[in-house]
Amino acid sequence: MAAAREPTPDERNLETLLRMADGFNRRDVAAILREFSADAVFETSQGPHPWGERFQGLAAIRGAIEAVFKTLPDIEFRDSRRFVCGERGAAEWTCVATTPKGHRFEARGCDLFEFRGGKVARKDTFFKQVLRKPA
């Protein structure tokens, strides 16, 4: 019987993205955080700077993710596609949710990733938001 083959870095990093996506879809903050390195950086799509808002370290990232889940408790990511090439990767997705004012939020977006040791060292989020005129 042949020994099990070690996954390639691309396979390992893709599995990291798949586990993280599963955590987001289950709204499982602990599962999401397990996929980040201890000193990871998460840059959001909106904020006071051209890069949005930057959260560094697991405690800060935890706070950012918990805030999203609290504000958008029905958030869902659909139509996802992912790829990895070495220590870089990307994920495309459609995010749908209901805002606190009861409006439907829909955005097509992507995350750019940097990996280190099989963990996400940087997650940078971008999106295009659907704007609908009131009826």
Question: For residue 126, what are the β-bridge partners?
Answer: 110
> Are 133 and 114 spatial neighbours (Cβ–Cβ below 8 Å)?
no
Structural domains present in the chain? 9-129 (3.10.450.50)
Q: Residue 1: its pLDDT value, please?
A: 67
Strands of the 88-98 sheet, one edge to the other: 54-56, 36-43, 119-129, 104-116, 88-98, 76-85
Range name among 37-41, 50-54, 73-77, 120-124 with the lowest pLDDT average: 50-54
Residue 74 has pLDDT above 70, yes or no: yes
pTM: 0.89
Per-residue pLDDT, averaged over 54-70, amounts to: 97
Confidence of residue 50 (pLDDT cuts 50, 70, 90): confident
Identity of residue 48 = P
Residue ranges of alpha helices (H) inside 1-135 are: 9-26, 29-33, 58-71
First to last CA, the chain: 66
Phi-psi region of 65 (alpha: psi -120 to 50; beta: other; left: phi over 0): alpha
pLDDT digits (tens, 9 = 90+) for 75-91: 999 999 999 999 999 99
pLDDT at 115 over 80: yes
Q: Which pair of tokens denotes residue 95?
A: 């995010």
- Give the mean pLDDT of the chain: 93
Q: How many residues does the chain have?
A: 135
Bridge-based pairing state of the strands 119-129 and 36-43: parallel
